Structures are given as C-alpha cells and as structure tokens.
Amino acid sequence: MQDLGDRMPAPGRRSRLAWLWSRIGHDLAVDLGTANTLIVVRGRGLVVFQPSCVAVDRARERMIAVGAEAREMLGRAPAPIEVIRPLSSGVISDYDAAQHMLREFILRVHHRRRFVKPRIVVCVPSGVTPVARRAVEEAALDAGARRVVIVSEPLAAAVGAGLPVEEARGRWSSTSAAGRRRWRSSCWAAWS
C-alpha cells in the first residue's frame, strides 16, 4: 500500500510491462462516501454512482444486494433481511459489508478478474486514523485490487479542480457531502 496523505506521489520508474498491464487492467478512482460510492475509470469518466447500501440476510449470513437494489429494499424487506450502510463519516464501520460492496462495484466496471486486477486510488477524509486508512486499504485489496493508493480528500479535490498542487501556495476548498459542509485550508509544498 502507498499512503500519500497530503502529498502527490513521487515520479517513479515504470516497469517494462507497465504499459501492457495498463492496457489490460483498469485504473480506478474510488470515493467511498457515507451516502454514495463513486468510481471513475481513466479515459471513461464516472461509471458508477451508487448508494452505499448493502442488504444482508441475517438468518443465512450472506449479502443479497448492493447499491440501488439494496436501497430499494430499505424499509420493505422482511425480518431476517437488514439493509445497512457500511460507512459512517467516510470511515468503514462494517468491514465485511464494505468489502463486499466494493467488490460488486469493481466487478461492474472491471470484468476481467482472474488474471488482471485493477489499480485503485481511494479517497479518505483528512482526519481519519491510520487504523481507518488501513481498513480502507485492506477492503480494496480484498475486493480485488492489484495496488491501492490512499489519498486524502482535500488533495483529491484540489487535483480534480485543476489546482496547481505542486506550488507552495495556500488554498481554500469547500466540500458538501452527506449533509455536511467542510471548509479546508491546504498548503502543499514541493518536497525535496
């Protein structure tokens, strides 16, 4: 795992087969949100925008549905079926359900799962503990990722907005997600 925190990755040497693996496997960016999960594929844009819900059959201890199908069952399912949200405040609260949900969403995008696995960048809130970061990384690896890079949400938002993050200048950003609005001040500097 590579945990970047608030820094951009250093340019590294690519392997000789990196171009082949990038053609066969997808590069995915995942935003595990409390309300919705988004998956972006390089070159195709946003491909998955689903609610972060999982329907679990407690009698048989198995997952039944994820995403929109699970949300439709909310309040309508019989007694042994429970619809849960595996994330709270951007942090995994139910590991098995989050891992199953992430695996299903990845399989909807990346159909080749036997030989080639996707590389995944996952956003986490800026104030989470190292244990929560490790849980997100383990869930992504168990869901079928070849390599996982953890990036904080302010850095991902700045890169997505096209801000020059390599300059040593302060920036303000505002995000609204799951009924919360957060203001962040960020300053990135070139590390040498």
In the prediction, which pLDDT does 190 show? 47
* 68 contacts 50 by C-beta, under 8 angstroms: yes
Provide the CATH number for the domain around residue 63: 3.30.420.40
Asked whether residue 192 is domain-assigned, the answer is: no
Asked whether residue 87 is domain-assigned, the answer is: yes
Asked whether residue 47 is domain-assigned, the answer is: yes
Asked whether residue 165 is domain-assigned, the answer is: yes
Give pairs for 94-98: CB < 8 Å, separation 24+: 94/54, 95/135, 95/138, 95/139, 97/54, 97/56, 97/63, 98/32, 98/54, 98/139
In the prediction, which pLDDT does 192 show? 39
**Which residues form the domain of 54?**
2-9+17-187
Asked whether residue 59 is domain-assigned, the answer is: yes
> Tokens at residue 15, please?
């392997």
Provide the Cα torsion 26, 14, 4, 108; round to 10°: 10
Asked whether residue 118 is domain-assigned, the answer is: yes
In the prediction, which pLDDT does 85 show? 92
pLDDT digits (tens, 9 = 90+) for 88-134: 887 899 999 999 999 999 888 887 666 678 889 998 887 888 999 99
- Cα 140 to Cα 30: distance, rounded to the nearest angstrom: 9
Domain tally for the chain? 1
Asked whether residue 130 is domain-assigned, the answer is: yes
Low-confidence ranges of the chain (pLDDT < 50): 8, 190-192
DSSP 8-state symbol, 162: T
In this structure, the chain runs to a length of 192
Helix (H) / strand (E) element for 157: namely: helix 153-160
